[in-house]
């Protein structure tokens, strides 16, 4: 058991402050989730800090979300980094927004959701250009897709050798129906790019949220650990979204169990050091 | 129930103290009625020392203890803590002067009392030493002067660091956990002699090493190395083969020595409580003890990192 954990994927939100239209489709988590709730959720696990990942659904509030989370960090939350929204599909014209985000020292990277966009979104030249720009600002890119978009992502990554990528939620394979191909082969390909890291997060909500068993996740976790290995895999909770299907502690226990064959140094990489190094926390 | 003097405090306390973490559902869900019943059963068995913290169940344990002690407050010694409120390594702790004062006020309300008998800094190794010494401990002195608390202390895991702090302050007692049990007796190295020299009360906790020395083994969050865990499991399995629960041997081992004034036991059910109380007059089976200590020898006194000191 590592003696300190960085949780690479956490959301906080307050629907009274900012707009989260997507929460209307998930009533159980359609309320505020704040650092105090997180402290409760982790139980006795020694969390040294979190990476906050954007969750606000209104692009016009991207900066407001960053300001809000920066304030949370100043007033006691152990947020070590912020992954902010930026409209990368604007290509060169996204530079202004990225410039603005450099004013916030906690902003370490960008996430522009791809999962809800049509196929081809992430391969359009303007979007690719927007992602390429991130290297100039020293920002990483969080790839949040559904599994059927992996082919597009392979093309995107191929065109951005100078950008540091992290795949959120192992590319959201359809665990509920046990679909493993072509996800498996595409993950193997993606892992050949040294500038791509993978978050061990978000699996339970892709499984049958009512009836999943730990064994349902095993083939997916094993494949990620085989391809990305302990040097490029990082633990993330995806809290509070994970609470739709499990508890924070249960998910952490599953990942600890799945990584128990690694050495203490490798476990420390997965649960702490890789996030620190990747996001420059 | 055997009683002992708690250092120089003048308090007479039961040798078995009631560890209140289970009241905060830290070891599984307990409903309100079960929680209150557990406290009352402990009192009925002669236990008068109750140790809680706002950290246990994130205030649930204190609130339940306060509820359970209605009308019985005078019969017991209530110990609680300040400075820690979650497991988060940074934001979960605040040992600043103002934090300790306000946490104490909040605990008084939750415990429904005008005065806390024993108020302790919770897990001081997670604070900066200069803040603990220059802010938290002065806050304890002021709380004592103001009559909000009667006696003050510090708790923590690394015994040598606890020793360092208690020798630089004027405290009434100290609490150390996982350092006087079958696997680890490092309490006797420096902390216990120094506390005795100062006539301080000394409280022992986690006689099972937070679950290491139980038949079922520790929870997944347990910070010990795999080596410690596997050797302890070997010892636990050995006891099981001999028809004894290692937890029982662990309790006997801690209780039959008079080293500490109070040994905290975290019992969830009345049955557990009764079995623990029953162990107080039994010394451990010497042959079994010898075998178990031999099995544990490769990890004797090995510990794990906690906090920053």
Q: Is B167 in contact with B197 (CB distance < 8 Å)?
A: no
Q: In chain B, whose CA is at the least distance from the CA of A74?
A: B91
Q: In chain B, whose CA is at the least distance from the CA of A251?
A: B220
B219 touches chain A (CB under 8 A): yes
* Cβ pair B221:A39 closer than 8 A: no
Domain boundaries, chain B: 3-299
- As averages over each run of 10 residues, the pLDDT of chain A (281 residues) reads 94 96 96 94 94 96 96 91 98 97 97 97 98 98 98 98 98 96 97 98 97 97 98 98 97 96 96 98 96
Could you read off the pLDDT of A243-252 as tens digits, one per residue? 999 999 999 9
Provide the pLDDT for residue B273: 87
**Secondary structure (3-state) at A212:** coil
* Cβ pair A43:B87 closer than 8 A: yes
**What distance in Å separates residue A106's CA from the closest CA in chain B?**
16
Could you read off the pLDDT of B165-193 as tens digits, one per residue? 999 999 999 999 999 999 999 999 999 99
CA dihedral B190, B191, B193, B195 (to 10 degrees): 150
> ipTM of the assembly?
0.76
Q: In chain B, whose CA is at the least distance from the CA of A260?
A: B226
Percentage of chain B lying above the pLDDT 90 cut = 86
- Residue B258 predicted with pLDDT over 80: no
pTM recorded for the entire structure: 0.87
**What distance in Å separates residue B225's CA from the closest CA in chain A?**
7
* Cβ pair B87:A42 closer than 8 A: yes
Please state, in angstroms and as integers, the Cα–Cα distance from residue B148 to each residue in A9, A38, A184, B127, B171, following that order: 42, 31, 63, 23, 16
CATH among 3.20.20.100, 3.30.420.40, 3.40.50.12160, 3.40.50.970 for B3-299: 3.20.20.100
**Secondary structure (3-state) at A190:** helix
d(CA B58, CA B84): 10
Q: In chain A, whose CA is at the least distance from the CA of B58?
A: A40
Q: In chain B, whose CA is at the least distance from the CA of A262?
A: B226
* Cβ pair A42:B86 closer than 8 A: yes
Unique residue bearing structure tokens 């007796």: B185
Q: Which of A46, A237, A262 to mutate to test the interface with B (most CBs of B within 10 A)?
A: A46
Q: Is B266 in contact with B251 (CB distance < 8 Å)?
A: no
**What distance in Å separates residue A32's CA from the closest CA in chain B?**
19
A245 touches chain B (CB under 8 A): no
**Catalytic residue from among B55, B56, B161, B177:** B56
Give the A window 51-110 contacts with B, CB below 8 Å: 76-78
Percentage of chain A lying above the pLDDT 70 cut = 100
Could you read off the pLDDT of B29-81 as tens digits, one per residue? 899 999 999 999 999 999 999 999 999 999 999 999 999 999 999 999 999 99
* Cβ pair A47:B304 closer than 8 A: no
**B56 annotated active-site:** yes
Percentage of chain A lying above the pLDDT 90 cut = 97
Provide the pLDDT for residue B281: 85
Q: Pull the structure tokens for residue A168.
A: 């959120």
Provide the pLDDT for residue B272: 85
* Cβ pair B304:A252 closer than 8 A: no
Domain boundaries, chain A: 5-274
Provide the pLDDT for residue B301: 95
Could you read off the pLDDT of B107-149 as tens digits, one per residue? 999 999 999 999 999 999 999 999 999 999 999 999 999 999 9
Provide the pLDDT for residue A13: 97
**What distance in Å separates residue A250's CA from the closest CA in chain B?**
10
Could you read off the pLDDT of A163-181 as tens digits, one per residue? 999 999 999 999 999 999 9
d(CA B219, CA B274): 24
Average pLDDT of span B83-90: 91
**Cross-strand pairs, A195:** none
B193 touches chain A (CB under 8 A): no
d(CA B231, CA B246): 13
A231 touches chain B (CB under 8 A): no
Q: Does domain A5-274 have CATH number 3.20.20.140?
A: yes
d(CA A144, CA A125): 19
- The pLDDT-based confidence of B254 (bands split at 50, 70, 90) is very high
- Chain B residues in contact with A43 (beta carbon < 8 A): 87, 221
């Amino acid at each position: 058991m590592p003696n300190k954990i960085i949780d690479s994927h956490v959301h906080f939100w307050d629907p009274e402050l900012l707009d989260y239209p997507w929460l209307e489709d998930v009533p159980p988590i359609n309320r505020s989730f704040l650092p105090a709730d997180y402290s409760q959720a982790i139980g006795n696990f020694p969390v040294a800090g979190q990476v906050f990942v954007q969750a606000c659904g209104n692009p016009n509030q991207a900066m407001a979300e960053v300001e809000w989370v920066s304030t949370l960090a100043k007033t006691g939350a152990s947020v070590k980094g912020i992954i902010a929204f930026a409209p990368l599909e604007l290509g060169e014209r996204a530079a202004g927004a990225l410039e603005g985000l450099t004013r916030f020292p906690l902003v370490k990277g960008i996430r522009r959701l791809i999962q809800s966009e049509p196929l081809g979104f992430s391969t359009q030249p303007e979007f690719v250009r927007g992602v390429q720009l991130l290297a100039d600002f020293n920002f990483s890119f969080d790839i949040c897709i559904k599994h059927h978009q992996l082919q597009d992502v392979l093309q995107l990554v191929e065109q951005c050798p100078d950008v540091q990528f992290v795949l959120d939620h192992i590319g959201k394979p359809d665990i509920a129906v046990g679909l493993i191909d072509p996800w498996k082969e595409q993950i193997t390909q993606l892992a050949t790019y040294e500038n791509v890291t993978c978050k061990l997060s978000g699996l339970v909500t892709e499984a049958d949220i009512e009836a999943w068993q730990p064994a349902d996740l095993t083939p997916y976790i094993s494949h990620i650990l085989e391809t990305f290995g302990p040097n490029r895999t990082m633990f993330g909770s995806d809290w509070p979204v994970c609470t739709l299907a499990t508890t924070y502690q249960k998910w952490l226990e599953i990942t600890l169990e799945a990584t128990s064959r690694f050495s203490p140094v490798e476990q420390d990489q997965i649960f702490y050091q890789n996030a620190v190094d990747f996001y420059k926390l | 129930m055997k009683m002992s003097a708690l250092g120089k405090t003048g308090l007479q306390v039961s040798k078995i103290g009631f560890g209140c973490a289970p009241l905060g559902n830290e070891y599984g869900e307990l409903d309100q009625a079960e929680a209150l019943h557990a406290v009352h059963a402990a009192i009925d068995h002669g236990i008068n020392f109750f140790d809680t913290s706002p950290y246990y169940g994130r205030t649930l344990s204190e609130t339940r203890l306060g509820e359970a002690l209605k009308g019985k407050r005078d019969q017991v010694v209530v110990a609680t803590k300040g400075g820690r409120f979650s497991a988060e390594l940074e934001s979960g702790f605040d040992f600043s002067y103002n934090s300790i004062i306000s946490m104490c006020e909040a605990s008084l309300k939750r415990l429904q009392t005008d005065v806390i008998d024993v108020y302790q800094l919770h897990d001081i190794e997670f604070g900066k030493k200069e803040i603990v010494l220059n802010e938290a401990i002065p806050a304890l002195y002021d709380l004592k002067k103001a009559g909000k608390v009667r006696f003050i202390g510090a708790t923590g895991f690394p015994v040598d660091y606890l020793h360092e702090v208690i020798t630089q302050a004027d405290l009434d007692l100290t609490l150390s956990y996982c350092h006087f049990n079958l696997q680890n007796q490092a309490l006797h190295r420096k902390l216990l002699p120094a506390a005795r020299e100062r006539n301080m009360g000394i409280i022992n906790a986690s006689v099972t090493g937070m679950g290491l020395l139980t038949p079922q083994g520790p929870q997944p969050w347990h910070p010990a190395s795999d080596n410690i865990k596997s050797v302890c499991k070997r010892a636990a399995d050995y006891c099981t083969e001999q028809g004894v629960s290692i937890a029982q041997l662990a309790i006997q081992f801690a209780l039959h020595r008079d080293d500490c004034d109070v040994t905290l036991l975290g019992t969830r059910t009345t049955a557990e409580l009764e079995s623990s109380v029953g162990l107080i007059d039994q010394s451990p089976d010497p042959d079994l003890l010898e075998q178990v200590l031999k099995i544990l020898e490769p990890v004797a006194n090995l510990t794990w990192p906690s906090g920053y000191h």
